[in-house]
Amino acid sequence: MLSAVDLAAVWLTFKLATVTTAILLMVGTPIAWWLAGAQSRFKILIGAVVALPLVLPPTVLGFYLLIALGPHGLVGQFTQWLGWGILPFTFAGLVVASALYSLPFVVQPLQQAFEAIGPRPLEVAATLRASPWDSFFTVVVPLAKPGFITAAILGFAHTVGEFGVVLMIGGNIQEKTRVVSVQIYDHVEALEYAEAHTLAGGMLLFSFLVLLALYSRKGRSAWT
Amino acid sequence: MTADEAIHARFCVSWPGFTFDVDLDLPGHGVTALFGHSGSGKTTLLRCLAGLERRSRGSLRFKGEVWQDSERGLFRPTHQRPLGYVFQEASLFAHLSVQQNLDYGRKRVSHTHPVSLQHAVELLGIGHLLDRMPERLSGGERQRVAIARALATSPALLLMDEPLAALDLKRKSEILPYLERLHDELDIPVCYVSHSPDEVARLADHIVLLSEGRVVAAGGLRETLARLDLPTAFTEDAGVVIESVVADHDEIYHLTRLDFAGGNVVVARRPEPVGRRLRFRVHARDISLTLTRAEGTSIINRLPATVIEIASADTPAHVLVRLDAGGTPLIARITRRSLDHLEVAPGKPLWAQIKAVALLA
């Protein structure tokens, strides 16, 4: 049903979304934690920066990333100095771009979860001799588990669905940067509607199932 | 009390519209009630003692150990202070069972355990709840678990922030006996925040009265409550606490006699056996004064007393009269007219008629 090229695109998409989600959970958690607790003036500023990808056209984000990561960009020069080469048109470049693009989808549910927990459980843990790190992992993370799951699902699904950023920063290289959404575009361009249908239908089903899972989770209120 | 046994606290912290500024010595034993209206700074004091108010400036020495000294930049974080804290509302970890909640603090304490978990569980009567999740507990059960969890860390200081406030009267009376056992069986200094005079009278040995972020009075419970120079906010509810012993039961009339230094009172039959210690509280508004031992009255409890001092009360119509009834202080709230009519003055012998006695058990 799926050709080898299509399968490669599916596998690449899955790999990209998994790696991106893992990185986002690691990077997004401290950002969300800071945003949830901060009383600093920069909170609004950082919050707005994190939310930018929600409203920015993906091509704009992709364009600036292409320049920044490129051979003359600041990040590009840094990666070259490190001996990594330049990132655009590589899988690593896609991961960086996807992570930025999906950042708000991970940070916002986490921030909401942390805000809902409030400072009290941490104070309780402190009076029971738990250090701040200890209480973060033994109290905050378990209590914010629904938030982590929502963040992971949204981050993963949103990365699977991206198109514009990928096209700008990754181009269209088979098994390296050609993800499902780009592959569908290719099929349509080539008037291969049957193949496009298969992939597009798969994406539709996938997206629907993700939302179904998400909403059924919301129906089950956790620890309230 | 040697200096090393006490708690010396000096804190200053301010928010817009509220300044908290206290300097006090707390005894290193027994139950100290922090009493005052809401917004008086009771909880702030407790949080400062626990180290939960990082912005507070000042110093705190607990039995010779420095916990905070802002001048020298010292601040021992909460998790390194050997204390237990019971919050006002249920504070159990929702993702852990009762047993796991109890273990949470205990596992993190390295020193030996003078209070065993077993003892805490028995003291609070929660043995049958260990496998339950907090959401399946009643409000009273949750607070008992929270108290046991704090005790299981063998704290050197127990801080309790209105642990009964969120509970209805029935749950309150369910927990109070456990708190009394705590007081009797464990030698841990307790700071107990409350705005309920009855709770304070029942549990406390010492009292700190707070008003608008300042200490108004501090000292032994009975001496402090018998003072007349407290601000008006505290005099409307003025009264004394008396320690008595159950002396005799009258089965015919269904009454019980309670003896104390300087006299006795008769109350409706109590279930406690003869010899049991019992605290009771007499509100100033429940004492009236007569010049002679009045006969032909339905009031049973009449005590000979001598006037010590007179002070103004919460309304211009009333005064507070402090009396000495054979060593036991009493406060009566009478009208200014009666004061003049009876020619009440310091040194004058009178009879105090007690209309009602609030038993605290």
Q: What is the pLDDT of residues A82-126, one digit of tens each?
A: 888 888 888 989 999 999 999 999 999 999 999 999 999 999 999
**So what's the ipTM on this one?**
0.81
Query: In this complex, do A126 and B83 lie within 8 Å of one another by their Cβ atoms?
Result: no
How would residue A222 be classed by pLDDT, with cut points 50, 70 and 90? very low
Query: In this complex, do A120 and B87 lie within 8 Å of one another by their Cβ atoms?
Result: yes
Are residues B199 and B42 in contact, defined by beta-carbon separation less than 8 angstroms? no
Under CATH, which architecture does the B3-225 domain have?
A: 3-Layer(aba) Sandwich (3.40)
Name the domain count of chain A.
Answer: 1
The C-alpha atoms of residue A78 and residue B199 are separated, in whole angstroms, by 68
Query: In this complex, do B104 and A134 lie within 8 Å of one another by their Cβ atoms?
Result: no
The C-alpha atoms of residue B60 and residue B75 are separated, in whole angstroms, by 9
| Terminal CA-CA length for chain B | 29
The C-alpha atoms of residue A160 and residue A15 are separated, in whole angstroms, by 10
10-residue mean pLDDT profile of chain B (361 residues): values are: 76 91 92 89 94 93 93 94 90 95 89 74 90 92 92 91 81 78 83 85 89 91 82 71 91 93 90 89 90 86 92 88 91 93 93 85 63
The pair phi, psi for residue B13, each rounded to 5°, is -150, 140
What are the boundaries of each domain within chain B?
3-225, 239-359
How would residue A221 be classed by pLDDT, with cut points 50, 70 and 90? very low
Considering the domain boundaries, does residue A118 fall inside one? yes
Residues A156-173 have pLDDT tens digits of 999 998 888 888 888 888
List b or e across B185-197, with b for residues whose CB sees 16 or more CB atoms inside 10 angstroms: ebebbbbbbbeeb
| CATH number, residue A117 | 1.10.3720.10
B contacts of A145 (beta carbons < 8 Å): 95
Considering the domain boundaries, does residue A224 fall inside one? no
Quote the percentage of chain A above a pLDDT of 90: 62
Residues A126-149 have pLDDT tens digits of 999 999 999 999 999 999 999 999
**In which domain, by residue range, is A63 found?**
4-39+47-219
Closest listed residue to residue B238, CA positions, set B162, B159, B332: B332
Q: Residue B258: how many CB atoms within 10 A of its CB?
A: 26
Nearest CA-CA distance, residue B220 and chain A, Å: 28
B contacts of A123 (beta carbons < 8 Å): 52, 78, 85, 87
Q: Residue B282: which H helix or E strand, with range?
A: strand B277-283
Give the pLDDT of residue B112: 64
Coil, helix or strand at residue B126? coil
Give the pTM.
0.82
Cα four-point dihedral sign B76, B103, B146, B95: positive
Give the pLDDT of residue B69: 95
Residues A11-34 have pLDDT tens digits of 999 999 999 999 999 999 999 999
What tokens appear for B96 in the block? Answer: 């852990």
The C-alpha atoms of residue A128 and residue B83 are separated, in whole angstroms, by 8
Query: In this complex, do B95 and A223 lie within 8 Å of one another by their Cβ atoms?
Result: yes
Considering the domain boundaries, does residue A162 fall inside one? yes
A contacts of B79 (beta carbons < 8 Å): 125-132, 134-135
Pick the CATH number of B239-359 from 3.40.50.620, 4.10.490.10, 2.30.40.10, 2.40.50.100: 2.40.50.100
DSSP conformational letter for B70: G
